[in-house]
Structure 1
Amino acid sequence: MDKFEYLSVLTSIIIGLAIANLLSGAARLIQLRARMKPHATTLCWMAILFLANIQIWWVAFERRESDEFTFFAFLLYLMMPIAVFMVSFLVLPDLGDEDHIDLAANFEGNRPWFFALLGLVPLVSLVEEWANEGRLPLDTDAAFRIVFLVLTMIAAGIRNAHFQLCNAIFALGGFVAYVAVLFLQLR
């Protein structure tokens, strides 16, 4: 086992737990459908988070040829899957046996934390790239991350449900386009 394989195990566990939570939450929503009103914003963010977890894991493959691993660089890198893991838990309420599940109230109650943690992902990604290369990249990838970061900061402060739905739809479309343009093949 080389260094990359060894370190990728922890990353894979964190991402796997986040995906497991999203998938089990989706299945639980189906089971409890009679006790809840669907909330399109939550469903869009669940889809985005599922894709984000996979994308973080997918891009981690680019590190396979690196021999330069330090504890603090790895810790910085781990902040991305950890943040997405935490947001993957915040997107859904505890789906116990309540009489009524309010997805909209859960989203609104967690909105500031949700977007603060989600904003860490592109921020950490940019900081990590700057730390590794000594400069901020000026490319399509960096532009997307900066736009996504700005949108998370704006969305954290806006309570309007219509805005949040439009933002989630825009983010889903933008994230799918981002992956389609930049990450369809392993590099």
Structure 2
Amino acid sequence: MIISLSLARLLSGVALFIQHPGKTKVYWIHLGWVLFLFVFLVHFWWWEYHLHAVPVIDVTVYLFVILYACVFFFLCVLLFPTSLEDYSGYEHYFMSRRAWFFGFLALAFLVDLIDTAVKGKAYFESFGIEYPLRNTAYIALCVVAALTPSRRFHAAFLVGALLYQLAWMYRAFDLLD
């Protein structure tokens, strides 16, 4: 349910650009992270399907997954606030809130490691060394993104992250299932 609310927040936010063209200044890097998060949410939904392999899902695991989903909701809210009245557009908003956004994104990748471990050692190891290296790299890049206002860095990080995430999803799930 929380993931559905997160997707709805993203889709409603994008719909505002169609409903009110020209009302707010669009920022391509912001929209890119919207797309990245959409892909990540779809990935999460599929990823959680593998909880069926966990022999017993107790209340701890249940609450953990709910809290993990809440991280995604906060990311979506950070991408589409209820108001932009204090900002000149999405570029100004996004860059001023980048520490929060990338802090939560780093948290999502950290929690992702725990979530995968919950599904069992064999499942975790099925992704090889690339998986923990991937998450560690994402976390490190999120820390840099939170700290730097460099538009070039943000553009490169976004493009690289989006391409890698799509490739990762395809390789990790189409080839394993």
TM-score normalised by L of structure 1: 0.81
Q: CA distance change for structure 1 residues 52 and 179 in 2, over 3 Å: closer, same or farther?
A: same
Structure 1 CA distance for aligned equivalents of residues 71 and 175 of structure 2: 25
The residue correspondences of 1:138-157 to structure 2 (distance < 5 A) are 138-157=128-147
What is the CA deviation profile of residues 104-155 of structure 1, one whole-angstrom value per residue up to 9, with x for unaligned ones?
1110121111011111111012134446647974532222222111111111
Alpha-carbon separation, structure 1, partners of 2:19 and 2:7: 18
The counterpart of 2:112, out of the listed 125, 130, 143, is: 125
Contact persistence 2:53–2:119 (CA under 8 A): no
Q: In structure 1, what is the Cα distance between the partners aligned to 2:56 and 2:157?
A: 38
What CA distance in whole angstroms lies between the structure 1 residues aligned with 2:174 and 2:94?
Answer: 31
Match of 2:63 among 75, 78, 84: 75
Specify the code of the residue in structure 1 equivalent to 2:98. Answer: R
Partner Cα separation in structure 2 for residue 186 and residue 46 of structure 1: 27
Q: How far does residue 66 in structure 1 lie from its aligned partner after superposition? A: 2.4
Percent of paired sites with the same residue: 24
Q: Any gaps of 5 or more consecutive residues in structure 1?
A: 1-12
Matched, 1:87 2:81: no
**1:180 and 2:170 equivalent?**
yes
Paired residue secondary structure (1:34):
coil
Q: Which residue does the alignment assign to 2:25?
A: 37
Q: Report the TM-score, using the length of structure 2 for normalisation.
A: 0.85
Rate the CA distance shift 1:185–1:14 in 2: closer, same or farther, 3 A: farther
Q: Per the alignment, do residues 186 and 133 of structure 1 end up closer, same or farther by CA in structure 2, a change over 3 Å counting? A: closer
- Among 55, 60, 65, the alignment partner of 2:48 is 60
2-side partners of 1:39 and 1:60: how far apart?
31
The aligned length equals: 173
Q: In 2, distance between residues paired with 1:124 and 1:148?
A: 12
CA distance in 2, matches of 1:153, 1:75: 27
CA distance in 2, matches of 1:132, 1:141: 14
User: Shift in Å at residue 157 of structure 1?
Assistant: 0.9
Contact 2:24/2:89 (CA < 8 Å) preserved in 1?
yes
Structure 1, 54-63 or 100-109: larger mean CA deviation: 100-109
Give the match's secondary structure for 1:33. coil
Could you tell me which amino acid in structure 2 is paired with residue 19 of structure 1?
Answer: L
Q: Check conservation: 2:99, 2:146, Cα contact below 8 A.
A: yes
Q: For structure 1, which segment, 50-59 or 124-133, has the greater mean C-alpha deviation from structure 2 after superposition?
A: 124-133
